[in-house]
Amino acid sequence: MSQQSDETPNGTLGGSDAPGGIRRAQPDKAEVAAVLDEIGTLLELDGGNPFEARAYQNAARALNNAEGDITEMVQSGAVAKLPGMGKTLVARITEYVTTGRLALYDELLERVPVGLRQMTRIPGLGPKRIRQIYESLGVTTLDELKAAAEAGTIAALPGFGAKSQENILKGLEFLASHQDRTLYPVAQAQAQAIAAILRELPQIVRMEVAGSVRRRKEVVGDIDIVGSVARLEDRKPVMDTLLAHPLVASVTGSGETKTSVVLRSGIALDLRLVNDDEFPYLLHHFTGSKEHNVALRGRAHAQGIKINEYGIFRSDQLIPCANEHEFYAAFGMAYVEPEMREERGEIEAALEGKLPHLVEEADLRGILHVHSNWSDGKVSIREMAEATIALGKEYLGMCDHSKYAAYAGGLDADAVRRQQAEIDALNQEFKGRLRILKGTECDILRDGALDYDDETLATFDFVVASIHSNFNLSPDDQTQRLIRAMENPYCSILGHPTGRILLRRDGYAPDLERVIARAGELGVAIELNADPNRFDLDWRWHRFATERGVRIPICPDAHTPDGLKNIHYGIGIARKGWLTASDVLNTLAVDDLLAFFAEQRQRKGA
C-alpha cells in the first residue's frame, strides 16, 4: 500500500544577531525544526551514528509539535523539557536561535557532496541507500547516478535490483523537470526575511518582494526584490548590506543597479534598485509573469505606447505613475492583483471591468479537514479547537483517517463512536464559541468504494473522500475510481484529487475534466488542499470547476495547531484561481454549511 507523504518543506532562515552588525528576523519553530531534520539527514549521508541522526530528526518533530515561540522557549528553558531534548540538542538549538548560524550544520554542508543531498529528493531513495551507492560505486552527482543506473550497476548492488534501478531513473527524470525549484513558503519566508532588513535602511524609500513570490506561485525558481532610493549614491550601502547578510552563500554579480546572490538554501536572489519615480514600473515588470507582460506590451504597442522597467512612454514622453494602480489606469484598466498576472484572461477582464473580487482570509468562517491524535494528528481535538477559536473561526471540521489508513492510525467503527462522543462533549463546553463538526477523511479503496459502510458514514456531518493508495492505476481507472467515490451518497468533498506532492511526485493523473464535470452534476465539493506540499486542486483548474457549479473549500489538512496557518497559503492559491468568497465552501456560516451537506445527501438519495 502506498502511503501518504506529508513532508514539511526544508528552508533555513534563523538567527537574530547575525555577523556584520545586521539584525536578523527571529527564526520560527518550523525553520529551526527544518535545520535539525536536515542535520539528521546529513549525518546519515556522512556515515555518522544512526542514533545521533535519529535524535536530530526526533527533535525536529518535537519542535514542530510544540506550542509557543521558539525564542521564548529557548530563553525560558522550556525547549529543554521537550521529549528527547538532551543537553547537546538544546545547545545546538540555542546556538542557531541566538546567532543565526549552527557550526555543525555548516560543517556538514561543506563535507557532504551536494549531489548526495539532491538524491534524497528521489522517492524511495533514503540516506542509507544513497550512502550505500556512494560507498560502492563512488557516485557523488545526479549525472553519475544516472550513468550507473543506465549501465545496470545499481541493480547489482545488494538490496536493490532491476525495479529499484528503474525507479531511480524515473525519479531522476522527475528531478530534472523540477530542477532549481523551491516550495513557495520556503522562498517567501527567505525573501521576506531579507526584504525586512533592507527595508529598514534609511536609504530605502520603497521596497517589495516581486517575481513569482509576489504572484504566490506554488513553486518558485528564484527571488526578485525591488526597491527605490532618493539618490543614486544611496544604492551602494543597500547592496553592501545584502552582500553581508548571513543568508547569502555566494555572489554571482554585483553592480550599481543590480546585485545577484545565491542564498545558503540554494535559491538565487536578485536585488534591483532605482530612483523612486521609476519604482512602480520596476515593480510591475519584475512581478511578471512574462506572459502577462508580453500580452500587455502587445496591447500597449497597438496604442503607440512603449513599456519597460523604467516607465510607460508615448512618443518618448513618460506617462507618470505613482503606483501600480495608476500604471494599469494608464491603459484604461482596472488594477490586476499580482496573483492573477498569468495571462489567463485577466487583461481582457480588467479592460472590461469584470475582474472578480478575490477571496480574502477574513472571508473564511470556519476550517475543514484537520487531524487530531485520534489518528495521525499530533494534538488533541481540544487543542485544535482552541487554536481555531484563537483564529476567530466559528467551526472546525475534524477529519481523522478511516480504518484502511492503518499507517496513519485510522479509526474503526468503534473508535469513530468514541471520538464522536468526545466531540459531543466538547461542543457542549465550547457552545457559543465554536462548533466542532464530525467528519472523516475516508479512504477511497481501489474499486472506488468508501472505507466505511453507509451506516457509519451517516453518523458524520460530512465526509472528505481521498485516495492514499494504489497510485499506479491507469488514468482511466483512477478517473472511474474517483467518480464512483463521489457518487456515494455520503461523499461531501473530494480530497486532494490528484495526490501530487510538489517537487516529489506528480500524482496519479485522472481525467480532471470528467471528474470535475461529474462533481458539478452531483453537487460534490472539491477541496483546495492548502498543505504547501500539495496545493491540490491545482489553481489552473479552479475556474473550470466553479463554472460547473463546484464549490471549493480551502482546507489546511493540519496535523498540529501550527498547521492551521496553511490556510494563509491556500488563500494565495485560491486567488490565483480567481476564486471569490462565494466560490469557497467554508465561507458559509455553520448552519448554512450543514444545510449544504444535508442537501448533498438528499440530492444523491441518502
**Average predicted confidence (pLDDT) for the chain:** 91
Domain end residue (candidates: 282, 299, 314): 282
510-551 pLDDT, tens digit each: 999 999 999 999 999 999 999 999 999 999 999 999 999 999
Alpha-helical segments (H) within 138-178: 142-150, 162-177
CA distances 279 to 191, 284, 287, Å, are: 18, 9, 12
What is the predicted pLDDT for the residue at 24?
46
* Same domain assignment for residues 170 and 184: no
Is residue 121 very low, low, confident or very high in pLDDT (cuts 50, 70, 90)? confident
Q: Are residues 347 and 366 in the same domain?
A: no
Are 537 and 482 members of one domain?
Answer: yes
**Residues linked to residue 273 through DSSP beta bridges, in sequence order:** 227
| Mean pLDDT, rounded, for 338-343 | 98
Whether 128 and 214 map to the same domain: the answer is no
DSSP states of 471-506: TTS-HHHHHHHHHHHHHSTT--EE-STT--BTTTB-
Give me the half-sphere count of Cα atoms (radius 13 Å) on the Cβ side of residue 345: 9
13 has a pLDDT exceeding 70: no
- Mean per-residue pLDDT, 4-25: 35
Residues 202 and 335 in one domain: no
- Asked whether residue 12 is domain-assigned, the answer is no
Question: What is the distance, to the nearest Å, from the Cα of residue 92 to the centroid of all Cα atoms in its chain?
Answer: 27
Domain extent, residue 91, equals 19-177
Which backbone phi and psi does 446 adopt, to 5 degrees? Answer: -55, -40
Phi, psi for 182 (deg, rounded to 5): -135, 140
Domain finish residue from 229, 255, 282: 282
pLDDT of residue 118: 86
In this prediction, residue 7 carries a pLDDT of 32
Residues 260 and 403 in one domain: no
Does some domain include residue 205?
A: yes
**Strands 311-314, 317-318: parallel, antiparallel or unpaired by DSSP?**
antiparallel
Instruction: Report whether pLDDT(30) > 80.
Output: no
Which of 53-62, 170-179, 308-317, 515-524 is predicted with the least confidence, judged by mean pLDDT? 170-179
* Among 355, 378, 411, residue at a domain's last position: 355
For the domain that residue 173 is a member of, what is the CATH number?
Answer: 1.10.150.110
Where residue 262 sits, what CATH number does that domain have?
3.30.460.10
The most confident of the ranges 82-91, 96-105, 494-503 is 494-503
- Please indicate, yes or no, whether residues 510 and 589 belong to a single structural domain of this protein: yes
CATH number at residue 510: 3.20.20.140
The answer to whether 575 touches 214, Cβ cutoff 8 Å, is: no
- Is 485 a domain residue? yes
Average pLDDT over residues 279-307: 95
Q: Angle, nearest 10°, between helix axes 50-65 and 87-99? A: 60
Mean pLDDT of 356-370: 97
Task: Write down the pLDDT at residue 16.
Answer: 32
Per cent of the chain over pLDDT 70 is: 95
Does one domain contain both 296 and 330?
yes
Position 384 confidence tier, pLDDT thresholds 50, 70, 90: very high
The reply to whether 309 and 216 lie within a common domain is no
- The helix/strand/coil state of 258 is strand
C-alpha distances (whole Å) from 542 to each of 368, 443, 557, 558 are 18, 24, 19, 22
Residue 303 domain flag: yes
Number of domains the chain is built from: 4
3 within some domain: no
Q: Do residues 172 and 196 both lie within one domain? A: no
**184 and 218 assigned to the same domain:** yes
User: How high is the pLDDT of residue 63?
Assistant: 87
Q: Please check the confidence at residue 173 and state whether its pLDDT lies above 90.
A: no
Q: Say yes or no to pLDDT of 464 above 90.
A: yes
* 72 in any annotated domain: yes
Contact (CB, 8 A) for 503 and 532: no
Residues 6+ apart with CB under 8 A from 169: 146, 149, 150
| Torsion of Cα atoms, 468 then 472 then 477 then 480, to 10° | 20
Decide if 467 contacts 491 (C-beta within 8 A). no
Cell of 439: 467528519
| Residue of 582, 367, 561 whose CA lies nearest to 464 | 367
> Are the CB atoms for 536 and 549 separated by under 8 Å?
no
SS3 64: helix
- The answer to whether residue 6 sits within a structural domain is no
> Is pLDDT above 60 for 22?
no
pLDDT digits (tens, 9 = 90+) for 239-256: 999 999 888 888 999 888
Q: Where are the alpha helices (DSSP H) in 391-495?
A: 413-429, 454-457, 475-487
Q: What angle do CA 503, 508, 514 make, to 5 degrees?
A: 125
Structure confidence at residue 26 (pLDDT): 59
Q: Three-state SS for 68?
A: coil
Residues 482 and 448: beta-carbon distance below 8 Å: yes
pLDDT of residue 15: 33
DSSP structure class, residue 554: E
DSSP result, 564-588: GGHHHHHHHHHHHTT-BGGG-GGGS
Tell me if residue 75 falls in helix, strand or coil. Answer: helix
33 and 170 together in one domain: yes
Per-residue pLDDT at 1 exceeds 80:
no
**DSSP letter (8 states) at residue 406:** G
Confidence band for 17, pLDDT divided at 50, 70 and 90? very low
| pLDDT of 599 over the 50 cut | yes
Q: Which of 205, 281, 268 is nearest to 238 (CA)?
A: 205
Residue 5: inside a domain: no
In which band, very low, low, confident or very high, does the pLDDT at 174 lie, cut at 50, 70 and 90?
confident
